[in-house]
Amino acid sequence: MGTDRTLRKKPLTRPVKRNGPRARRLKVQRARLVALGMDVKAVAKLTSLEVRTLLLRPLKVTEALKAGKTPKIAVK
């Protein structure tokens, strides 16, 4: 009694993150940085972790670009 579906419903059956959606998200995030005013070549050189950390504070990115500086990346 009660040993059928409950014991088989484990976190092991969760879906695995795939490369397609991950690459799509990264492409959208890179486009957001270009829309903020960053250079396309500079964005292409960034890693995915750097792209995500820059997008955490988009206002600081735009302010740094207006001042003529490159935005600083504080990766933990």
Listed by start position, the domains of the chain span 20-76
**How many CB atoms lie under 10 A from the CB of residue 36?**
17
Q: Which helix (H) or strand (E) holds 37?
A: none
Rounded Cα gap, residues 26 and 45, in angstroms: 13
Asked if the model's pLDDT at residue 63 lies above 70, the reply is yes
Average pLDDT for 42-54: 94
Rounded Cα gap, residues 18 and 70, in angstroms: 32
Tokens 């740094």, located at residue: 64
pTM of the complete model: 0.75
Asked if the model's pLDDT at residue 5 lies above 90, the reply is no
Three-state DSSP at 18 gives coil
- Between residues 13 and 61, which one has the greater pLDDT? 61
Tokens 């960034």, located at residue: 46
Q: What is the pLDDT of residue 16?
A: 74
Q: What is the pLDDT of residue 24?
A: 96
